[in-house]
Structures are given as structure tokens and as C-alpha cells.
């Protein structure tokens, strides 16, 4: 028999909720949505407690509150992991972002790009032929020194010049859809992911960068955005189409974020084009502005993923702050919004 988790008085109302209602709360704040009711309650309280910290700060600093009000703008970079197709999006938010009374603040996208890591050289005008890159990849498939150099180049030339306060990195898996085999390319991306963490930790410990690194599970992002669209794990192609369509809808209707900067606007122009024929003929000419890699095709699903990942994390942090300030009241509104047929929130008296 599962034990009832020890809750602070502030979150004691969670015991009265049904599992479905707890899942609604968990999804809204980025907590795990699987497990028994005691596990769900524990997941929610962990996310809401001041000890929640997923950054690469020192152990002594992990007892601080997760996100504090800042005097300067928040600078958030969301990375969708890859090697040939690494996508990133740079958001900025004003210091008033976390104020619960301010519901109209939109994040601003300043850069939105896709990079081929092996072509992301130190010199912008340096072009690496495809056959040279292919030979380099085959020769040094699992060379730690090669991946470390690429990680350092990416961070120092592209990411850190944007002065990020938070770097969100898509968490990688070793297997997809429960398959028994581990693909070689998956191992490469996992190695590169580890190199990014190690480099950021080194720079942070050496006092060369002040910021936080946050791992983000893609499954949580998917559940947050498309949980109500009936997409199963097997329907990965449909999931990609839904995500791309969702970001295009955000751009067309100007909701969710706003875009500034010539580079980001160029990506928006390519992203929103409807004609595949026109896109294929024009992407090759414009890709030098949009992506550091000179690939013949733009990966729109990667671009969509990094945007949705960043927006999801921001909303999770905002929702956590709302729960901390308003507690049961805001939880009621979420449950009623997800279950509009219920005039009042149903409660259970047992865990």
C-alpha cells in the first residue's frame, strides 16, 4: 500500500483531488504526469518547493528559490539537440515576467536558427565541403576531443554571446519508442549533449558565465502542447505536423510570442511559406542567412520544437509562481478549464 506523502500545509489541498485533476496540475507546471496519486502529489510538491533546482549551479546554491525576480531582462535560449540539425531559439523577457498580475507579457524572439555543428566554424565565411564533413564524421564518430571542440565552438561563438540567463537543453534518450536497438546517431547526439553540459559547467565554475542550465524532457513538452489532440506515441509524424502547424498558427495570429531581428524574421519568412515547391527553390539561397550549415533542406520540425520547448518552460515557471501565490484558487480555474462540463471541482476524500 502506497504511503501518503508528507505535505506542507500550503499544499494539503492536493490530497482531496482525483488523479485526473492532479495530472492537470502536473502538466501545467512541468511535473511528471505518471504514477500513483501519492507519486503525482510528490511530483507536484517537488516542483513547487523552493528546493526545486535543475541547473548546474553548485550544491550550496541549489537551496535558493527556482526563479527570482530580476532587475535585468531574462535571456533564455532553448536548444533542440542534434548534430546535423541543431535548432535554437533566443527569447528575451522583461523583469516583470513572473508578476502574477502581468498576463500580457509576450516573449520576444531575437534569434531563431538551425545549425549543422560540423559546419559551424570559427569563421562565418569559411565553407566546409560536404565530402570533407562526411569524412570527418566517419573518421571521428566517437572522438571525445572532436565533440568537445565543437561544443566549445558552438557555445562561445553562438550561444554565450547572447548572454543567456537560462539555457534549456532538450534531454536525449538512448532508445525511441521502446526499441531494443540503440542507434549510432543517437549515441553521437548523447555524447554532444554531455559535452555541452560539461563545457557550461566548466565556464560557470570558472566564473566566465553566470546562468542556469535546465534539461527539458521532450515528452513533457509534447504532453503540455498536444495532450488534448489525441496523438499517441506511435504517431510521431503526426506529432511533428501538429507542432509545426501550431507554431505557424502562433506566427499568423501573433499570439504566444513576437519576433524581432533580421535573422529571426528571415526564419519566420521561410517557416510560414505554404508552397513546398517555392520553398525548395528558395531555401538553398537563403539558408546561408538562416542556418550555419549549408544543408539543402530546412528542418521545420526542429525549429518548431525549440520554440515550443522554450514557451512551455516559461509557462511552467509562470504557473508555478501563480500556484505559490494563489494556491487552490488558480488550481480550481485550471481544472474547470480542462473539464468545462463540471460546474464545480469534484473531490475525493482518499488518496
DSSP codes joined into one string, 14-62: GGGS-HHHHHHHHHHHT----S-HHHHHHHHHHHHSTT---SS--GGGG
Length of the chain: 351
CB 297 within 8 A of CB 270: no
Q: How far apart are CA 300 and CA 305, in angstroms?
A: 9
pLDDT, residue 228, reads 54
* Grid cell for residue 210: 553566470
State the DSSP code for 73.
P
Among candidate residues 78, 52, 43, the one with its CA nearest the CA of residue 213: 78
Among candidate residues 265, 263, 224, the one with its CA nearest the CA of residue 246: 224
Among candidate residues 17, 20, 50, 44, the one with its CA nearest the CA of residue 32: 44
Among candidate residues 275, 87, 263, 256, the one with its CA nearest the CA of residue 170: 87
Task: Give CA separation, 105 vs 14, 69, 98, 221, 247, in Å.
Answer: 29, 15, 9, 21, 18
State the DSSP code for 95.
G
pLDDT, residue 161, reads 95
pTM of the model: 0.80
Reading the chain (351 residues) residue by residue, the pLDDT tens digits are 445 455 567 788 888 888 999 999 999 999 998 889 999 999 998 888 764 444 444 333 433 345 555 557 899 999 999 988 999 999 999 988 887 566 678 899 999 999 998 877 544 444 545 555 555 555 546 788 889 999 999 999 999 999 999 999 999 876 555 566 667 778 888 899 999 999 999 999 999 999 999 999 998 999 899 865 555 454 566 788 888 889 998 998 888 899 998 899 999 988 877 534 444 444 444 444 444 444 334 578 999 999 999 999 999 999 998 898 888 888 888 888 876 655 444 433 333
CB 306 within 8 A of CB 82: no
pLDDT, residue 84, reads 87
First to last CA, the chain: 11
Residue 111: phi, psi to the nearest 5? Answer: -140, 145
If one counts every other C-beta atom within 10 angstroms of the C-beta of residue 12, the result is 10
Buried b (16+ CB within 10 A) or exposed e, 225-245: bbeeeebeeeeeeebbebbbe
pLDDT, residue 327, reads 84
Among candidate residues 28, 110, 25, the one with its CA nearest the CA of residue 318: 28
Amino acid at each position: 500500500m502506497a504511503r501518503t506523502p508528507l505535505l506542507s500545509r500550503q499544499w494539503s489541498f492536493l490530497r482531496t483531488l482525483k488523479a485526473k485533476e492532479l495530472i492537470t496540475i502536473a502538466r501545467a507546471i512541468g511535473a511528471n504526469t505518471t504514477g500513483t496519486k501519492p507519486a503525482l502529489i510528490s511530483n507536484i510538491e517537488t516542483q513547487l518547493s523552493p528546493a526545486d533546482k535543475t541547473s548546474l549551479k553548485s550544491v550550496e546554491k541549489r537551496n535558493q528559490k527556482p526563479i527570482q525576480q530580476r532587475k535585468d531582462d531574462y535571456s533564455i535560449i532553448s536548444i533542440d539537440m542534434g548534430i546535423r540539425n541543431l535548432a535554437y531559439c533566443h527569447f528575451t523577457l522583461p523583469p516583470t515576467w513572473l508578476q502574477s498580475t502581468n498576463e500580457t507579457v509576450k516573449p520576444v524572439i531575437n534569434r531563431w536558427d538551425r545549425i549543422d555543428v560540423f559546419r559551424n566554424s570559427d569563421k562565418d565565411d569559411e565553407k566546409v565541403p560536404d565530402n570533407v564533413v562526411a569524412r570527418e564524421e566517419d573518421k571521428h564518430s566517437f572522438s571525445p576531443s572532436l565533440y568537445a571542440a565543437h561544443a566549445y565552438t558552438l557555445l562561445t561563438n553562438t550561444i554565450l554571446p547572447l548572454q543567456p540567463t537560462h539555457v534549456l537543453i532538450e534531454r536525449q534518450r538512448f532508445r525511441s519508442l521502446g526499441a531494443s536497438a540503440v542507434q549510432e546517431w543517437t549515441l553521437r547526439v548523447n555524447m554532444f549533449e554531455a559535452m555541452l553540459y560539461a563545457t557550461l559547467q566548466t565556464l560557470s565554475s570558472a566564473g566566465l558565465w553566470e546562468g542556469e542550465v535546465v534539461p527539458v524532457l521532450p515528452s513533457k513538452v509534447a504532453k503540455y502542447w498536444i495532450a488534448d489532440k489525441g496523438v499517441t506515441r506511435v504517431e510521431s509524424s503526426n506529432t511533428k505536423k501538429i507542432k509545426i502547424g501550431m507554431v505557424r498558427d502562433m506566427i499568423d495570429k501573433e499570439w504566444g510570442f513576437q519576433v524581432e531581428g533580421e535573422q529571426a524574421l528571415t526564419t519566420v519568412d521561410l517557416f510560414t511559406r505554404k508552397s513546398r515547391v517555392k520553398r525548395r527553390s528558395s531555401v538553398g539561397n537563403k539558408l546561408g542567412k538562416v542556418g550555419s550549415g549549408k544543408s539543402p533542406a530546412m528542418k521545420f520540425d526542429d525549429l518548431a520544437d525549440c520554440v515550443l520547448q522554450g514557451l512551455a518552460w516559461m509557462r511552467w515557471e509562470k504557473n508555478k509562481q501563480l500556484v505559490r501565490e494563489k494556491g487552490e484558487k488558480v488550481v480550481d480555474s485550471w481544472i474547470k478549464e480542462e473539464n468545462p462540463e463540471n460546474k464545480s471541482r469534484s473531490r475525493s476524500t482518499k488518496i
